[in-house]
Amino acid sequence: MSKGAPRTPAWWFGDAAVPVWARLLAPVYAGVVALRGHLYRTGLLRQRRVEVPVLVIGNLAAGGAGKTPLTLAVVQKLREAGWRPGVASRGYGRRDEGVPRWVTAETAPEEGGDEPVLIARRLAVPVRVDRDRAAAARALAEAGCDIVVCDDGLQHYRLARDVEIEVVDGTRRYGNGRMLPAGPLREPVERGRCCDFRVVNLGHAAEPGGTGFGEWPMQLQSRAALPIAGGRPRALASYIGIRVHAVAGIGNPQRFFDMLRALGVGVVPHAFPDHHAYRAEDLEFGNDLPVLMTEKDAVKCAPFADARCYSVPVDAELPAAFWVALLDRLARLR
């Protein structure tokens, strides 16, 4: 059983009936989105451009799609190609969200946001959090970055962008296809046609599949569990046939649970809301079974994690042709 319940409404991605209040509010939300887009397209609302290329990674459907693993992979490829990337993010859920901040590996998640801290710890690149992503991008450019990668921000039109990547959950796609709050869509599905690339997150599928024309498959690979309190990594395969507590406070916790089950791990699932602020008691399950959690959750649980607790990092893998196409597009902007 879950100790916490995800906030994703049951009707977004399931067969539950959409409440009347949600159906009535959806056209209002859609109208506001359409008006805002029109104001930016006509120049009545002005975009801010920085002097370096900007690449935005985002999604149309709320509820998590796999943006951060893709961001990590993109930033790593950019560094290998000779770029000096920096990452701009809002830092959702952090304390004092209105205060811009540089995020490093030492930054506490409640100060910098869980995903920005994860990125800073994994890659040691400049990370700037700011509600105004245009200001964050400008700060990164002034700090010496020659390209800015936005983790989320597809709808943050104030920042002019050169390349957009839409990330789609390969299982849930666009849910019931309705706009918020009747469905998960932040913008109409047609908005995705304006993006330069569409990446479909297939999770830990053994074989690529489930992609359509013009879509790039992304698979997530997990090979080891890292002890959060310190120690030697442990192969995930060593948990086959063993019961574990699986903790996930991400947009789609089921993806993490399914991955472990596919490996043959006996999962006792504990789903928490996305960006959940963990406390030590959240990990008290009444026994000493191992606790496996996503890397994003481990960032926040590190201060009180004990020897039972392991982080399971994931790496995004995409076809070589995708990287050729992306780097070629960016090279023309250099």
Say yes or no: 261 and 283 in one domain.
yes
Q: What are phi and psi of 101, to 5 degrees?
A: -155, 145
pLDDT at position 247 over 60: yes
- Residue 22 domain flag: no
> Does residue 31 belong to any structural domain of this protein?
no
In whole angstroms, what is the distance from residue 148 CA to residue 141 CA? 7
- Is the same domain home to 258 and 116? no
Could you tell me if 329 and 161 are in contact, meaning their C-beta atoms sit under 8 angstroms apart?
A: no
45, pLDDT greater than 60: yes
What is the C-alpha separation between 112 and 303, in angstroms, rounded? 15
Residues 6+ positions from 303 with CB-CB distance below 8 Å = none
Amino acid at 172: R
Instruction: Tally Cβ neighbours within 10 Å of residue 265.
Output: 21
What distance separates the 2 farthest-apart alpha carbons in the chain?
60
Closest CA to 293 of 325, 258, 256: 256
Predicted confidence (pLDDT) per residue in 257-310, tens digit: 988 998 899 999 999 988 888 999 999 998 889 999 999 999 999 999 899 999
Question: Is the separation of the CB atoms in 203 and 259 below 8 Å?
Answer: yes
Binding residue ranges for ATP: 61-68
Q: 303 and 290, same structural domain?
A: yes
Tell me: do 55 and 203 sit in the same domain: yes
pLDDT at position 251, please? 79
Binding residues: 61-68
Q: Would residue 279 count as lying in a domain?
A: yes
- Asked whether residue 76 falls in the same domain as residue 163, the answer is yes
The count of other CB atoms within 10 Å of the CB of residue 278 is 23
Per-residue pLDDT tens digits for 157-170:
999 999 999 999 98
In a domain, residue 105? The reply is yes
Asked if residue 6 is part of any domain, the answer here is no
Structure tokens at 27: 């056209």
Residue 14, in any domain of the structure: no
Same domain, 128 and 59: yes
Q: Is residue 9 situated within a structural domain? A: no
Query: Do 134 and 171 lie in a common domain?
Result: yes
- Domain range for 273 is 223-313
User: Is pLDDT above 60 for 206?
Assistant: no
What is each CA distance from 109 to 117, 218, 273, 277, 305, in whole angstroms? 6, 27, 16, 9, 15
- Report the CATH number at residue 166: 3.40.50.300
Same domain for 111 and 234, yes or no, is no
**What's the token pair of residue 160?**
């002019």
Q: How many domains does the chain have?
A: 2
- Across the chain, mean pLDDT equals 90
Task: Indicate if the pLDDT at residue 209 is higher than 80.
Answer: no
Could you tell me if 80 and 210 lie in one domain?
yes
Burial (Cβ within 10 Å: 0-12, 13-18, ≥19) of residue 193: exposed
Are residues 148 and 55 both part of a single domain? yes
Tokens of residue 207, six digits: 């074989």
Distance (Å, whole) CA 125 – CA 79: 10
Residues 278 and 321 in one domain: no
159, 236: one domain: no
Give 2's pLDDT tier (boundaries 50, 70, 90).
Answer: very low
Taking only the tens place, the pLDDT of each residue in 91-141 is 887 888 888 999 999 998 889 988 999 999 999 899 999 999 999 999 999
